[in-house]
Structure 1
Amino acid sequence: MTYRLGELFCGPGGIALGAKWASTISNPTDRRITHAWATDYDKDTCKTYSRNICGAENSKSVIHDDIRKLKIERLEKISAIDALAFGFPCNDFSVVGEQKGIDGVFGPLYQYGINVLKHFQPQWFLAENVGGLRNSNDGQAFQNILRDMSQAGYDVVPHLYKFEKYGVPQARHRIIIVGMRKDLSVKFKVPSPLPFADADVSCRNAIENPPISADAENNELTNQSETVVKRLKHIKPGENAFTADLPEDLQLNVKGAKISQIYKRLEPTKPAYTITGSGGGGTHVYHWKEDRALTNRERARLQTFPDDFVFCGSKENQRKQIGMALRP
């Protein structure tokens, strides 16, 4: 059985790569998932997806367009689908932000996934978002989303996955909703994390084993300012700019909320904290020993992307793609 996969908000290709791996592990002659089409609003992200999933940077099955302007008929002309994946934008549901939920600019975009479900009626779907979705709009947004998915014809199973429990070297917690079409005699069960109980999920193991090749793509160092280097020398593993004992001239003049990841060093024996794609200086994730931010390749390893998965675009755009991706 081959499942043709369509993707909305596809990102750089984490879900598609995971689908490829799953097809290889299960049995390529039995059940496999193949790429049908994918869409994203960011041009460089589409190039990354196209290069790594389709084998060419400008595949016609990868559409660069705003989902609010994209016609379903355009997708239909490319291919029918048996499965749909959509990691709808988390901006309005994340605890880092204004948390406008369903009332924000991005909150309602999940409806485009519902529209595609109703139109194509794939056998199953996977939707992903941040853990804050459960509490957005006092929990009403989450209930509305689950209701709309059910009314589209699917039995849904939402679950908050703690990825470090599944062998991932990062404390990344995400809600994944799996839906099976109601007319099918198939039920989805949340996979057990027990097979990964003894996995080494330390960030040091992920970054250093094996060593990153000197000519690896996306591995350029950030040009750290003298002040940042001085500040990092006073910050121990696990500490940030507010918990470390910093000299007064190196302290940050920040009023209000003090985000715990600002200039935070990794703890080498533990999973990394959440890799993000947004934020300015101080949010780039910092090495436990060296006085520098991680390279994009090191961040990609914490997201479990292999070293031959190449991210296109500027260094900042690559960082955004890596942080916003659903890891494979």
Structure 2
Amino acid sequence: MANFSFIDLFAGIGGFRLALQSVGGTCIGFSEIAPDAINTYCKNFKEDESANFGDITKLKTLPDHDFMTAGVPCQSWSIAGKNLGFDDDRGQLWNDTLYLLNKVRPKAFIFENVKGLADPRNAEALKYILNRIKEAGYYAQVNVLNAYDYGVPQTRVRIYIVGFKDKKYFEKFTLAPATPGCVQLSDVLDGCNATECRQSNDNNARWSLSCNEKGFNDYFLFNDLRNGNTTIHSWDIQETTEREKSICYLLLKNRRKDKYGKLDGNPLSLLHFQELDPSVSREDLENLVEKGILKRVSYLYEICEQRNDLSEDATWVMSQAKNGIINFDTLKSSKELKKRKLNAQDILSTLETIGIVKCTEERYDFKNTKISTGLAGINRIFLPTCKIYPTLVASDTNDYITTENINADNIEDFRASFMKNVYRTGNYRRITKQEACRIQGFPADYLLPPTRARWMKLIGNSVAVPVIKMLVKAIVNTGVFDGQEKVVVKNRNSHQSSYLSLFDRYEENHIAESGMVCEDIELS
């Protein structure tokens, strides 16, 4: 075991700390501002609140330490965000982190972020960060790793920047070999026979979800925008005629063709449908609208009146017209629209209501067009034979699991068995708190708040512990901390609250997001 001190920046609930302590590290302080995370961190590590340095943007320095870790908030680089990078103020937290790195100058560091930071669109931002690290006198390596390769059944691709102050240790740094599939979904699920459901590792699922030995997907996708042998559509789960099904497939197969628009998926007009199948009538389409499978979409708008008293955003929308016509898909794909954080449909509807524009072309699209939302509250249902679960996120997802094992010789029977034994019987559920902990590499009994929204936010924002442990071991193996004496932490005098009682006391109510919760709680 190595002896080294570390400071845990953007500490969350302690994923970094679990990993570093497991190989001999001693935490001499952490920085976190989210009350639930602070409470969780302190309770699990029996830590005093005085160990929290608080808001990193207000820190001028830190105590001397050997190792710095930071899971810098990722919203500025996340694919789920607006991809504005340093245009987003939250991206400036990198500057605060790099300032402290240069100020205190630990021997080594790990900075973690979402994979979006390594994407070409953020190349300049990553270059800036690496240049700042170099200017501080550090040697750094960028690693894009999938947690699935290092001991969890989860596809969680993240960027890890590992750095050393001394070049000789940097040159000795080597990642451990990947071991994909060493832990699979059945290994972490309660109520299923892990041995019976476990697959061989012949089908490598490092960067995607998995299929079984017969080539059938180990999950079912509930979606109207995709098609596949294990895709369940709206017309599969509610009563529809063969005629209605054929019209739905007509839209599904043609909506991504360039001739119908610039978006990844485009609505089709009645004329478009009739070009594909002359027998399609408006009544056919309206019946599917009534069933909630299709929806009407206002597509082209003609400007009826120019006015000077419109809001800035409405004026900008009006300025996007060409030859007096506003094309909805052109407007929706605009980067400026994202920057302004506008809802194009809402603005156009308002302008139509007051007579500024009028719709001149109406089209039809699937009602459920958000892929991650799925259908009837279900995005995917994963079978216990699946090797891998999708990335856990703070906002939770509409993903479910079943412990029912399905066996079939052909895809038709496989699909029919799923519908009969899983979907129709409601034999599926969300992952539990304990299972979520295992999927992130935390102990199943890790103390978390009682309500799902709160614990899912905390665990979804955390790091996958086994990946951090692998990286820390690789750093320790360079010898950078060799010969150091055991770290002794000075006693902290501040009162330590009973954080678990906070979980119990607040129950279903959210703790306020600003400021730490402080209550005088009698210790037992």
TM-score normalized by the length of structure 2 = 0.50
Answer yes or no: is the 8 Å Cα contact 2:148–2:181 preserved in 1: no
Aligned to 2:31: 39
Equivalent runs, 1:91-102 vs 2, <5 Å? 91-102=75-86
CA displacement at 1:250 relative to structure 2: 8.1
The one-letter code sitting in structure 1 at the alignment partner of 2:149 is K
Distance 1:273 1:10 in 2: 23
Is structure 2 residue 432 aligned with structure 1 residue 306? no
Aligned to 1:66: 55
Is structure 2 residue 205 aligned with structure 1 residue 203? no
Which residue, out of 275, 291, 296, partners 2:392?
275
1:265 alignment partner, SS class:
strand
Aligned to 1:9: 10
CA displacement at 1:245 relative to structure 2: 2.8
Distance 1:323 1:6 in 2: 22
The one-letter code sitting in structure 2 at the alignment partner of 1:304 is G
When the two structures are aligned, how many residues end up with a matched partner?
281
Distance 1:158 1:297 in 2: 32
Q: Which structure would you say has the larger RCO, counting Cα contacts within 8 Å and 6 or more residues apart?
A: 2
Which structure 1 segments of 5+ residues have no match? 24-31, 212-235
Answer yes or no: is the 8 Å Cα contact 1:5–1:83 preserved in 2: yes
The one-letter code sitting in structure 1 at the alignment partner of 2:391 is T
Answer yes or no: is the 8 Å Cα contact 1:178–1:188 preserved in 2: no
CA displacement at 1:268 relative to structure 2: 2.4
Q: Percent same amino acid at aligned positions?
A: 25
Aligned to 1:227: none
CA displacement at 1:157 relative to structure 2: 0.8
The one-letter code sitting in structure 2 at the alignment partner of 1:258 is I
Larger radius of gyration: 2
2:186 alignment partner, SS class:
helix
Equivalent runs, 1:151-230 vs 2, <5 Å? 151-182=135-166, 185-194=169-178, 196=179, 199=182, 201-208=183-190
Is structure 2 residue 125 aligned with structure 1 residue 130? no
Which residue, out of 250, 253, 257, partners 2:367?
253
Distance 1:198 1:273 in 2: 14
1:130–1:206: structure 2 CA closer, same or farther, 3 Å change rule? same
1:66–1:240: structure 2 CA closer, same or farther, 3 Å change rule? farther
Which structure 2 segments of 5+ residues have no match? 194-216, 224-230, 239-290, 294-365, 404-426, 466-524
Distance 2:86 2:392 in 1: 24
Aligned to 2:298: none
Q: Deviations over 1:210-266 (max 9, x none)?
A: 99xxxxxxxxxxxxxxxxxxxxxxxx95223314133356869344x5238762222
2:381 alignment partner, SS class:
coil
